[in-house]
Amino acid sequence: MEGGSFLLEPEGVSVSAKVSSFELDEVEVTVGRFRRYADYSPGVPEANAGAHSEIPSSGWQPEWNGLLPLTQEALNSSLHCNYDWETWTDESGEREDYPLTCASFYVAFAFCAWSGGRLPTEAEWEYAASGGAAQRAYPWGNAEPSSELALFQASRGAPVGGHRAGMARFGQLDLAGSVWEWTLDLYDRYPKHCDDCAQLKSGNERVLRGGGFVDGAEQLRADYRHRTDPQLSLGQVGFRCAYDL
């Protein structure tokens, strides 16, 4: 998608922002797509893999190596985090087109780096979800959420891409609802101006965006921020990858 300027509005505070052109996965990373990575067992990424080309020190950090499950058994175990909501199965099954859940920030980062991409910055994610300068309240526009537009207030997840009426301006699906999505940023206040920025210096939790299938309409807003410990594997959290152009 073509980059541009917009107002990043985390927690109701408008920040003048600009992002360079980039690509973002149309849908969240699915169980079937992740299985190719799991079967390959690539080990830890190289230092600085998965970096944003315009943001220093945004790639893989060697001190994270010990936070990544390195064996097939350890990875499988980490992806079984919630009996009711986990989507991973150790063998190919009926949920190959479901969003992968229970991946920690580090597993998500490593996958995106392995696939030739990276995790999106929080600014990039909101740019896609708000339609950039269109400043949409939700990915599809300003209409209040409904069951046709997004998966929310539900008891469990569903296959990706099932709410085409909720498509974002740049073509992404499920940016609202379905599962929360990891972003690159640490949770902290933003500066007054954001030019291809990411918060990487302060904070302990990583930012999640998009709301999930169990959440209400408020959490689906393009500007809504959530955060959690990056080491956690959670049954309502997934991710999608971004790519430099």
> 168 exposed, middle or buried (CB, 10 Å; 0-12, 13-18, 19+)?
buried
Percent share of the chain, pLDDT over 70: 99
Look at the block and give the residue holding tokens 């830890």.
Answer: 44
pTM of the model: 0.97
- Give the residue carrying structure tokens 């965006």: 209
pLDDT (mean) for 150-178: 98
Decide: residue 188, CB within 10 A, 0-12 exposed, 13-18 middle, 19+ buried: middle
pLDDT tens per residue across span 103-114 = 999 999 999 999
Strands (E), the chain: 4-8, 15-19, 22-24, 180-186, 193-195, 206-209, 225-228, 237-238, 242-244
Q: What is the structure's pLDDT at 40?
A: 87
Give the pLDDT score at 9: 81
Q: What is the pLDDT of residues 174-232, one digit of tens each?
A: 999 999 999 999 999 888 899 999 999 999 999 999 999 999 999 999 999 999 999 99
Give the alpha-carbon dihedral of 91, 97, 208, 83, to 10 degrees: -50
- Label residue 151 by pLDDT band (50, 70, 90): very high
Evaluate if residue 11 carries a pLDDT over 80: no
- Tens of pLDDT, residues 29-57: 999 999 999 998 778 999 999 999 999 99
Rounded CA gap, 114 and 146, in Å? Answer: 36
Quote the pLDDT of residue 97: 98
Q: Is the pLDDT of residue 10 over 80?
A: no
Burial of residue 171, with CB atoms counted within 10 A of its CB: 0-12 exposed, 13-18 middle, 19 or more buried: exposed
CA 81 to chain centre: 18
Residues 153, 145 contacting (CB under 8 angstroms): no
Contact (Cβ atoms closer than 8 angstroms) between residue 150 and residue 174 = yes
Mean pLDDT computed over every residue of the chain: 96
Instruction: Indicate if the pLDDT at residue 12 is higher than 90.
Output: no
Q: Which of 130, 120, 165, 128 is nearest to 146 (CA)?
A: 165
Write the DSSP string, 47-80. Answer: TTTT--TTSTT-S--GGGGGGS--SHHHHHHHT-
